[in-house]
Amino acid sequence: MLKLVLIILIITINLINGAVVTKIKDITNINGIRENQLQGFGLVVGLEGTGDSKKATFTVQAYANMLKRYGINIDPSKINFDNVASVIVKATLPPFVRPGQKIDVIVATPGDAENLDGGLLLQTPLLGADGEVYAVAQGPVTIGGYNVKSGGSKAQKNHPTVGRVINGAMIEKDVPMEFVQNGKIQIILKNSDFTTLSRVIDVINNFFKEEIAKGIDGAAIDINIPEVYQNKIPQFLSSIQNLDVVTEAPAKIVINTRTGTIVMGENVKISKVAVSHGNLTVIIKSEDEVSQPEAFSQGQTTLITKSSVSAKEEGSSVMLLKDSPTINEVVSALNEIGATPRDIISILQAIKEVGALNAELELI
């Protein structure tokens, strides 16, 4: 039987009763501080016969237009080459960059070029959504792979029609960041949660010993800037961002259906349910035992929950899955007997459909 490996990653850093301790800067964004997307249309030259063919008429027209800017007039219908390719150029403009700084750009061909490796991107203006030029890109293209053909055979690594120009764009215009409004700033949780939001507010107010933070909804928090920090905004933000806060670990399972990878939170639980899937059988037991103290020890009676998991492959049957501490035990048991990722994904989806999986299930 072919055994498939299922990767299960459970992040439990600084686990405290199903919650984790993290810094405010790791779970929030500052309203008004953001990245901006840039895009342009350019030409890559110097390819070794792997560029666009004449069928890519837009490449021919773009090349003719470029030559015209240099005083060279030529009939586009007479241009015949395969060492030039049209490319869409994309870049992300980080916040607080200044003119003269450089960023990477990504190039991808919309035509029928086969390989961009070794080509040179000609000077290309990069525009924002407002139509303004914020950067100019130029430089050698690398694809981080290869695409080799010989005698009808082909070897390829990565996508040769998508490449990168390292530090290929120079910033020409910056974007003002207005994140202070009427003497206050606003931070926004990356994942909205009223419990986490309340804890963030309490941590901030306790640190500054005054009520400066106020919740707006499940994600946004307005923070009044104290008088002593009016001229020290960076220091004020640094103080807030480095505060520790306890966050709730979400009950969520993310499944990559292509690779069979399953990532789950620690709080994922499964309720009592019966499952039958082909010839797979899973038995999960959870029993409560009473622990009695010794005579005259002045101890207390406690309730101890013991769980065990076993799995085997046999004739199809319906088995009862009792309450389990975590669904990780279910997946581990299935993985041990060599169940395929498709089997496990199908079982989890079925459990979710009947309402026995107390977590959000997300397929990617």
Question: Structural domain boundaries of the chain?
Answer: 19-33+178-248, 36-171, 252-290+304-363
pLDDT at 13: 37
The pLDDT of residue 348 is 77
CA 306 to chain CA centroid, Å, is 37
Q: What count of Cα atoms within 13 Å lies in the side-chain half-sphere of residue 82?
A: 9
DSSP state of 229: G
Task: Tell me if 250 sits within 8 A of 267, measured CB to CB.
Answer: yes
Q: How confident is the model at residue 49 (pLDDT cuts 50, 70, 90)?
A: confident
What pLDDT sits at residue 91?
95
**Percentage of the chain surpassing pLDDT 90?**
35
Q: Which of 68-82, 168-182, 199-213, 318-332 is predicted with the least confidence, judged by mean pLDDT? A: 318-332
Residue 48 is predicted with a pLDDT of: 87
Q: Is the pLDDT of residue 94 over 80?
A: yes
Question: At a CB cut-off of 8 Å and minimum separation 6, what does 335 contact?
Answer: 6, 8, 344
Round to whole Å and give the CA distance between 205 and 210.
5
pLDDT at 352 over 90: no
pLDDT of residue 78: 76
> Would the pLDDT of 292 be above 80?
no
Q: What is the pLDDT of residue 110?
A: 92
- Hey, which bits of 141-279 come out as E strands? 146-150, 153-157, 162-171, 184-189, 213-215, 220-224, 244-248, 252-256, 261-264, 269-270, 273-275
**According to the model, what pLDDT value does residue 141 have?**
93
Greatest distance between any 2 Cα atoms in the chain: 105
pLDDT by residue (tens digit) across 149-185? 555 555 556 678 899 999 999 999 988 888 898 889 9
Section 99-117 average pLDDT? 92
pLDDT band at 186 (very low <50, low <70, confident <90, very high): very high
Which of 179-183, 313-317, 333-337, 352-356 has the weakest average pLDDT? 313-317
Q: Please state the rounded mean pLDDT for residues 52-68.
A: 86
Higher-confidence residue of 307 and 76: namely 76
In this prediction, residue 12 carries a pLDDT of: 37
pTM for this entry: 0.64
Q: Which residue has the higher pLDDT, 18 or 32?
A: 32
Q: With 80 as the cut, is the pLDDT of residue 72 above it?
A: yes
CATH number attached to the domain at 19-33+178-248? 3.90.1150
Confidence of residue 278 (pLDDT cuts 50, 70, 90): low
- At 6, is the pLDDT very low, low, confident or very high (cuts 50, 70, 90)? very low
Say which residue the tokens 């009427």 belong to.
182
| Residue scoring higher pLDDT (115 or 323) | 115
Determine the 3-state secondary structure of 328 from DSSP. Answer: helix
Least confident piece of the model among 73-82, 214-223, 327-336, 349-358: 327-336
**Which are the contacts of 78, defined by CB distance < 8 A and separation ≥ 6?**
none
Tokens found for residue 140:
């050698």
Query: Cα(217)–Cα(199) distance, rounded to whole angstroms?
Result: 14
Token match 């994600």: residue?
219
Average pLDDT along the chain = 78
16 pLDDT band, cuts 50/70/90, is very low
Whole-angstrom distance, CA of residue 204 vs CA of residue 239: 9
- Residues 232-260 have pLDDT tens digits of 999 999 999 999 998 876 777 887 777 76
DSSP strand pairing (244-248 vs 19-23) = antiparallel
